[in-house]
């Protein structure tokens, strides 16, 4: 199975997200049974987007982009895994933007993954070389079942720059991650993926799919990536 995961980040309100869905529907991408398409949305879009997705019967699964590391309780404004469980099957944790802008630590990310798994949501754990070992160690320390997670190697130099990493080098790091988690989970690559370069990544022996930021925002570009995998 191959995976395409879109990450909209803090873009698109609910109205815009529904227009995006109409746009994708009119393009009619070819959804291959061998490729799973997951779209990670802003919290505020998820419920309405899910509703329209089921009306259109489009084979896309939704995810969130963040979750609280805390259990339900007195934490004003936090969105817990228990709340997300009614809405999504996946959730990104540990994106480098959250580490940089919100001082998220590997320990917090591991706690988020634990909260998600307790609520039957698959964590999509983002990794880069400077904290790769530390992050995986934290997951084991918090007894996170890594076989129930997805992992994404996202070199910061490639995120949003238009300069993807060399696919062979990315595969090398994917193998490193695979070794550390005992080869138990899907490993994806993220960073400036486009319809033109996606095949060069998923054709690598240890890269199971891609995480796509900028090119998931335009239905035509995202459809191009989906079609490249079919
Ligand atoms: C990302 O931020 O997760 C990402 C992969 O972004 P982009 O595709 O825009 O490089």
| pLDDT classification of 122: cutoffs 50, 70, 90 | very high
Pairing relationship of beta strands 209-212 and 60-64 according to DSSP bridges: unpaired
**pLDDT of 104 higher than 90:** yes
| pLDDT classification of 89: cutoffs 50, 70, 90 | very high
* Ligand 1 pocket test target in 6, 193, 194 with most atoms within 8 Å of CB: 193
**pLDDT of 225 higher than 90:** yes
Between 161 and 230, name the one with better pLDDT: 161
Give the separation between CA 67 and CA 83, rounded to whole angstroms. 9
The pLDDT value given to residue 169? 98
214 lines ligand 1 (CB under 6 A): yes
The pLDDT value given to residue 184? 86
pTM of the model: 0.98
The pLDDT value given to residue 51? 98
The residues that are catalytic are 95, 154
How buried is 10 (Cβ within 10 angstroms: 0-12 exposed, 13-18 middle, 19+ buried)? Answer: exposed
Task: Give the residue from 175, 222, 206, 230 showing the smallest Cα distance to 5.
Answer: 222
Query: The tokens 């960073």 sit on which residue?
Result: 191
What average pLDDT does the structure give for the chain? Answer: 98
Which ranges of 66-209 does DSSP label H, i.e. alpha helix?
81-84, 96-102, 106-118, 132-141, 167-180, 198-202
Q: Residue whose CA is closest, atom 7 of ligand 1?
A: 213
Mean pLDDT of 156-185: 97
For ligand 1, the distance from its centroid to the CA atom of residue 47, given in whole angstroms, is: 24
For ligand 1, the distance from its centroid to the CA atom of residue 72, given in whole angstroms, is: 30
- φ and ψ at residue 221, rounded to 5 degrees: -70, -40
The pLDDT value given to residue 230? 82
For ligand 1, the distance from its centroid to the CA atom of residue 213, given in whole angstroms, is: 4
Cα dihedral value 168, 166, 177, 209, nearest 10: -90
154 lines ligand 1 (CB under 6 A): yes
């Amino acid at each position: 199975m191959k995976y395409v995961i879109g990450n909209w980040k803090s873009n698109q309100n609910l109205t815009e997200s529904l227009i995006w869905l109409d746009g994708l529907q009119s393009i009619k991408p070819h959804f291959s049974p061998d490729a799973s398409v997951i779209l990670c949305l802003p919290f505020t879009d998820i419920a309405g987007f899910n509703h329209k997705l089921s009306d259109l019967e489009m084979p896309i699964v939704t995810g969130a982009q963040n979750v609280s590391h805390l259990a339900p309780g007195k934490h004003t404004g936090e969105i817990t895994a228990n709340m997300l469980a009614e809405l999504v099957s996946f959730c990104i944790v540990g994106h480098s933007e959250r580490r940089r802008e919100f001082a998220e630590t590997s320990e917090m990310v591991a706690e988020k993954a634990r909260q998600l798994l307790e609520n039957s949501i698959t964590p999509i754990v983002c990794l880069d070389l400077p904290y790769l070992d530390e992050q995986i160690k934290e997951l084991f320390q918090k007894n996170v079942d890594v076989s129930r997670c997805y992992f994404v190697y996202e070199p910061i130099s490639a995120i949003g720059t238009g300069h993807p990493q060399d696919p062979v080098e990315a595969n090398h790091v994917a193998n490193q991650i695979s070794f550390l988690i005992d080869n138990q989970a899907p490993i994806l690559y993220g960073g400036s993926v486009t319809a033109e370069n996606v095949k060069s990544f998923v054709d690598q022996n240890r890269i199971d799919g891609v995480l796509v930021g900028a090119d998931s925002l335009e239905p035509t570009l995202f459809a191009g990536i989906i079609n490249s995998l079919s």
